[in-house]
Chains A and B, each alone.
Chain A
Amino acid sequence: MIEERTEQPIVRHRPPAIAPVAVPMFARKGNTARRRRLENGAVFGVQIILALLLLAGMYALNAVGGNLVMPNPNDIVAESVLMWSDGTMLKGLGESLTVISLGFLLSASTGIFLGVLLGGFRVLGRVLDPFVNAMNSTPGAAFIPLIIVWFGLYTEAKVVVVWNAAFFPILINTTAGIANANKELVEMARAFGAKRATLFWRVMVPDALPSILSGLRIGAAICTVGTVIAELTMAQSGLGGLLAAAGNRFQMDRYFAVVIVLMALGTLITAMLRLAERRIGRWRVSLADGR
């Protein structure tokens, strides 16, 4: 939506003979904007209703099944306030964030570096393709016992679990993005005398940037999952540890308070990366006519 707006004032400077299609678009603009506002309002309204229905369902389930099946939402709020005020939640969040960010940084840097290498050197990519595929197809949890033997039970081992889960989507997206770089743009640069290194760094890698960014977004989401799995299965710590402790003692209100934090954390991370993706990849909007 933002991109559309920046386009229109620029087109307005042109004599109408060059861009005759732009004229009828202005006439309809007011109408479309109103319709879009209406739609946005309707979507938000339905979302609120659904959220309230969910909450009502929780109360109903609590009334029917008791505290073990579904804790009373009021208790969840009370437990959340308690956990935030006594520092339990903050400590857990800090431990989890440490693992997530270390794991993400490690998988992003190694994934992009190797992906650029595999995408740039076609033969190397072909040689390593079956190995990458085999590793990527193995469920990450299968490596946890091995990682425990090699790295122990604490933060460094958890970071390795997270790296193992997020590395491959980042690697594969980077490789694919570079290997599938726009051939027309590559030929254009070649026609103007670009050499291999220039072609690679100035055309193919920038062209792959949106693909690399979606790899990072997928990788980050997997990092959250990997962190919780590591914290549940290895030395209990962080939000995953709190989850396990509460679950084992059937403290379901406490358990739900942690789930809400995890939900918010995952949503926040994905939203941030989506924003970055949109900002950096804004020229992809009308890809077809930008070439």
Chain B
Amino acid sequence: MSAPIISLRHVGKSFKDGEVRALEDISFDVRPGEFVSLVGPSGCGKTTLLRIINGLIAPDEGEVHVMGAAPQPGPDLAMVFQSARLLPWLTVAGNIEFVLQLKGLPGSERPARARALLGAVGLREFAEAFPHELSGGMQQRVGLARALAVEPKVLLMDEPFAALDAMTREVLRKELLQLWSRRGIAVVFVTHDIDEAILLSQRVVLLRPRPGRIDEIVDVSFPEPRWQQDPRTSPAFVSMREHLWDRIHDMVRDGAELEELAGAFGNVDWSTATFHRSFL
């Protein structure tokens, strides 16, 4: 087995001077070319974890290694956000050329590269359009093309399809799987959609909220390529889905009780408050 491209060891992170514990004791590896999903209810620090892997923020505890070194924002790590985050004053091609310039590609090579990438996501004829002239799904495709344009070793995706309609989401998932299998990039995919996580990834990292920590890591093996036969009707998919949902329901129930307690008694210490479960 090859060396991990991303490795996290006992990573912890707090906000507001340690008052809010966002992440605790997170350890897992991502191998080159692997597709890993981070799943969990809101407040479990999924996005924070992604930003730590990107090097946008530093962890308070533990170690993060991306390709053997501390992560640094740059062309090896490309991010796709929930909204496309395109620069509205640049054309679609201009947006891609912008990150190619950040990567240090000479100006003469940028236009052709940008157009090639737009071709890969089916938007070649929209190169000169402005972002606001595109639909949300098309904008997100541009976001994906921009991330792939810098030829990253790791693609970080922060709920990239959450704001899209169901049909567009379905189409883009398929395209993402195709692009991923062709390029052999490692993908870390944050989502709160269990089906999406199982459908796309080879491993699902389930996180618990408050503080965010790993609940379970589930291996997913369906026959590849997945975009040709939908695994959602297979018994294996159904049982995995059920299992993950059970875990999440537990977490959400715990969380709701804790919040109720906090409301009733003011500031309750989270660690001693769990006794309440036995009443139910």
Contact = CB atoms under 8 A, between A and B. Distances in A.
Interface stretch (A49-57, A131-139, A189-197, A242-250): A189-197
Interface stretch (B75-83, B207-215, B257-265): B75-83
Interface size class of A (residues with CB under 8 A): 35 or more
A192 B75 contact: yes
A16 to B, nearest CB: 11
Interface in B27-47: none
A289 interface: yes
Nearest to A285: B132
A291 to B, nearest CB: 5
Given A18-B135, A18-B171, A283-B132, A203 B87 contact: yes
Interface in B93-111: 98-99, 102-103
A25 to B, nearest CB: 12
Interface string B43-57: 000000000001010
A282 B167 CA distance: 30
B85 A190 contact: no
A291 B142 CA distance: 11
Nearest to B81: A188
Contacts, number: 94
B162 interface: no
B66 interface: no
A86 interface: no
A83 to B, nearest CB: 46
Interface string A63-98: 000000000000000000000000000000000000
A192 B89 contact: no
Interface in B57-94: 72-75, 77-79, 81, 83-89
Contact of B131 (A22, A192, A283): A283
A209 interface: yes
A115 B130 CA distance: 28
Contacts of B274: none
Nearest to A7: B133
B131 A290 contact: yes
Nearest to B149: A192
Interface string A97-111: 000000000000000
Interface of B: 54, 56, 72-75, 77-79, 81, 83-89, 98-99, 102-103, 125-126, 129-139, 146, 150, 167-168, 171
Interface of A: 3, 6-7, 10-11, 13-14, 17-20, 22, 184-185, 187-194, 198, 202-203, 206-207, 209, 282-287, 289-291
28 contacts: A10-B133, A14-B135, A18-B135, A18-B171, A19-B135, A184-B85, A187-B56, A188-B81, A189-B98, A191-B73, A192-B79, A192-B99, A192-B103, A192-B146, A193-B74, A202-B98, A203-B87, A206-B87, A209-B89, A283-B131, A287-B88, A289-B132, A289-B136, A289-B139, A290-B139, A291-B84, A291-B85, A291-B86
Which 3 A-B pairs give the minimum distances between C-beta atoms? A193-B74, A290-B88, A290-B132
